[in-house]
Structure 1
């Protein structure tokens, strides 16, 4: 019965295309909302600080959405997943900051539309890299952790003792 439960969860995981489409909806929706939040907060705070605050909040929200919907993890994100996701978000933060700093160096007084276009383009580029990281590492579902012989035998162990029994089978 445990095997059927684990296998059904694994079979319920979306393929790469479906996961990317869900990632775009969840992450893109969060990113667009974040871009407006950054623009609004930047009126009162330095842009880098506004971006940092919005990045933290949007990363927590997006990680939960990705755990529950994008990658079909079947529940809330774990602290480990939040921590790993934060690493990819830190890289995305660096990319968006660098893009905005370059824009400020190249254009003396960029308008709001140009700023939004640059920010969203940098976010999209960072988002593709983030998708790969989340899919291959953060929400990988431990496929590599279960030996092929054990999986083929239909025996998915929970403990080291059961793992030894399954290998012997």
Structure 2
């Protein structure tokens, strides 16, 4: 009889998952940078970034569920919500980086804006990978067990047997 755990895809290694994350998330991020630049010509940059971030997060979460972390299908609502939390942090990082750029450079060119945006996105992406791997798409274990291992308790019968055998072991001589 096949168990539910046997039907799940095998866990993927961190290196191969990171490579797929870069491919899926990086591809989405690169497309997003061009979409933000195009939208920012007609609306404010922050609003363009927010709209593109929402669309890109939905798409990237689906891609990560199916391909990056091998969750075996579509992302759940819980995974979308948790992924949105990490995307909100990434949004804050990219907005902060662009704010600093505009404070330091009065009229930055499109290339410099792209470099700053993509650099901030890459740094936020590394942190996002860790959150997605260890929390959002952690399979077969609780979120707490993904980072902390707790020893199993010893059954009471074994503890009693060990305790009753201990006095005899102390009395024996070699």
TM-score range, shorter chain: 0.7 to 0.9
Shift of 1:148: 8.7
Structure whose CA Rg is larger: 2
Partner of 1:75 in structure 2? 73
Question: Matches of 1:118 and 1:33 in 2, distance apart?
Answer: 15
TM-score, scaled to structure 2: 0.80
Q: Which runs of 5+ in 1 are unaligned?
A: 150-169
Q: Report the secondary structure of 1:76's partner residue.
A: coil
Matched, 1:6 2:5: yes
Question: Matches of 2:142 and 2:46 in 1, distance apart?
Answer: 39
Q: Which runs of 5+ in 2 are unaligned?
A: 153-174
More helix by share: 1
Question: Matches of 2:78 and 2:2 in 1, distance apart?
Answer: 24
Partner of 1:45 in structure 2? 43
Partner of 2:52 in structure 1? 54
Question: Matches of 1:34 and 1:59 in 2, distance apart?
Answer: 10
* Corresponding residue to 2:24 among 19, 23, 26: 26
Question: Is the contact between residue 5 and residue 140 of structure 2 (CA under 8 Å) also seen in structure 1?
Answer: no
Question: Matches of 1:8 and 1:140 in 2, distance apart?
Answer: 16
TM-score, scaled to structure 1: 0.82
